[in-house]
Structure 1
Amino acid sequence: MTTAQDLFIVALEAPPERPVGQGDLSLALAGAELIDLIAAEAVTLDDDLILPGPQQALDDRLLGAAASALGRQEPYERVDDWLWRRGRDLSAAYQRVFEEDGLLSPARRGYLPFGAEHLELVDSPARQRARRRWEEDEPVLRALAVAVGIRRGPSQDAPGPDGEAVTAVLAAVNDAVMELEAVRQRRSIENAAFANVWRAP
């Protein structure tokens, strides 16, 4: 299992008062994949550029798809550009794979935190692993969860993620989620103004 899969599971189990938006989750999943690729030494970062390493076989098919999607010619892709490109509809891709792998099943009650499909997580080793990382307050998973609003920020004495590259990716995820929220707010204001024009006498 990967950090991205663990994040997806955590997002599905988010409390109802903290629903996770598909766009926010997709950006964070793209960031989680990049962090996993860094850990696998499939990529390195040069400032904010993603430098691909030697192509290698990866056990997880979605992570393999992420590795295959890397730009391998100069000019190399920036981290923020990767998040937006790879993140497009990525949460839906994870949902499909989870369904195909039997990690999601029709629900007797309740819904996914996003969408309208009657699905729920089955009890599986993958779910147990994600819960264990969550309960251990693993820094990378915690930081991604904070970015998408599942939980509040850590206490000041909580350990942070290891490595400058991982920290840079997490910062880019935060910036991208904030940018997406700003776009939502701008559209909401524009739509409200348009509606007021039609209602005006």
Structure 2
Amino acid sequence: MNTARDLAIVALETAPGRPVEQGDLSLALAGAEVVDLIEAQALALDGDRILPSAQAPTGDRLLDEAASSLVRLEPYESVEDWLWRRGRGLSSAYVDDLERVGLTTRARGRRIPLRTGRTELVDSDARRRAEERWTAGEPVLVALATAAGIRDEPAEAREDLDDDAVSTVLAAVGGAVQELEAVRQRKEIEDAAFDNVWRGL
């Protein structure tokens, strides 16, 4: 199961009607990679610390890249530190990768070159699998999508999560997204104050 790719597909699917902050999505994708690597037994969690296992190919380029970039020295890396380090620009990397493997195309508009068109999903098995998980309300995918701002989480979704490691990852993603939003709000306040100073001169 590739939760990170499914999350990227869901984000593209819902983007026209519900724009998503790229930073929030990147943090959620980094969390999804941890979930995928736990499932692939490429890592385990000790509390909130990521303990890498012997590296084995997952068959996915970005997941293999994630596994190879795990910190392999004690005291190892916390999930939160991983989210900030790995998450930088990760949403763009997933959009590019979906296009690279033929799961998306650029919509061609009148007199608009192909590369400047909007990214659109093509019909594929990967898209159908992601849509099935999304429609079924798969708890981990829903929780990550909620953190990324793709949808509001139903009250019962969290109750279905009984895996401590996954719950730790989801809590870290939620905390990181809140921290990023706080940074945005501070910047808006600072920018507004700066503008007011200039207007007063």
Match of 2:51 in 1: 51
Aligned to 2:112: none
CA distance, structure 2, for counterparts of residue 179 and residue 83 of structure 1: 12
1:137-156, aligned counterparts within 5 Å? 137-156=137-156
Structure 1 window deviating more from structure 2 (159-168 vs 63-72): it is 159-168
For structure 2, the 5+ residue unaligned runs are 110-115
Q: Distance in 1 between matches of 2:69 and 2:4?
A: 16
Distance 1:102 1:156, change over 3 A: closer
**For the residues of structure 1 that align with 2:6 and 2:70, how far apart are their CA atoms?**
22
User: How far apart, CA to CA, are the structure 2 residues paired with 1:199 and 1:89?
Assistant: 35
CA distance in 2, matches of 1:200, 1:108: 47
The structure-2 alpha-carbon separation of the partners of 1:117 and 1:180, relative to structure 1 and needing over 3 Å to count, comes to: farther
Would you say the 8 A contact 2:43–2:53 is kept in 1? yes
Match of 2:193 in 1: 193
Equivalent residue, structure 1, for 2:28: 28
Q: Deviations over 1:19-64 (max 9, x none)?
A: 1111000000000000011111111111111011111121111100
Aligned partner of 1:83 in structure 2 is: 83
**Pairing 1:1-201 to 2, within 5 Å after superposition:** 2-14=2-14, 16-108=16-108, 117-156=117-156, 159-201=159-201
1:172 maps to a residue whose letter is A
Go from structure 1 to structure 2 and tell me whether the alpha carbon gap of 1:15 and 1:104 turns closer, same or farther (over 3 Å shift): closer
Alpha-carbon deviation of 1:14? 1.4
Deviating more after overlay: 9-18 vs 189-198: 9-18
Structure 1 residue 108: Cα displacement: 3.9
Q: In structure 2, how many angstroms separate the alpha carbons of the residues matched to 1:156 and 1:97?
A: 33
Structure 1 or 2: more helix by fraction: 2
CA distance 1:89–1:167, shift in 2 (3 Å): same
Equivalent position amino acid for 1:180 in 2 = L
TM-score with structure 2 length normalisation?
Answer: 0.92
TM-score by length of 1: 0.92
Q: Report the 3-state secondary structure (helix = DSSP H, G, I; strand = E; otherwise coil) of the residue aligned with 1:85.
A: helix
Relative to structure 1, the CA distance from residue 25 to residue 105 in structure 2 (aligned partners, 3 Å threshold; closer, same or farther) is: same
SS at match of 1:173: helix
CA drift at 1:92: 0.8
2: CA distance between counterparts of 1:24 and 1:119?
A: 19
Taking the aligned partners of 1:173 and 1:18, their CA distance within structure 2 comes to: 20
CA distance in 1, matches of 2:96, 2:157: 38
Aligned partners of 1:34, 1:131: CA distance in 2, in Å? 21
Task: Tell me the alpha carbon deviations over residues 136-194 of structure 1, each in whole angstroms, 9 at most, x when there is no partner.
Answer: 10000010011111111223377422310000000000000010010001001100100
Alignment partners' CA distance in 2, 1:33 and 1:157 = 20
Pairwise CA distance, 1:75: 1.9
Q: Across the two proteins, how many residue pairs are aligned to each other? A: 195
Point out where structure 1 has 5 or more consecutive residues left out of the alignment: 110-115
Matches of 1:140 and 1:157 in 2, distance apart? 8
The one-letter code sitting in structure 1 at the alignment partner of 2:65 is A
1:137 to 1:73, Cα distance in 2 relative to 1, 3 A: same
What SS class does the counterpart of residue 13 from structure 1 fall into? helix
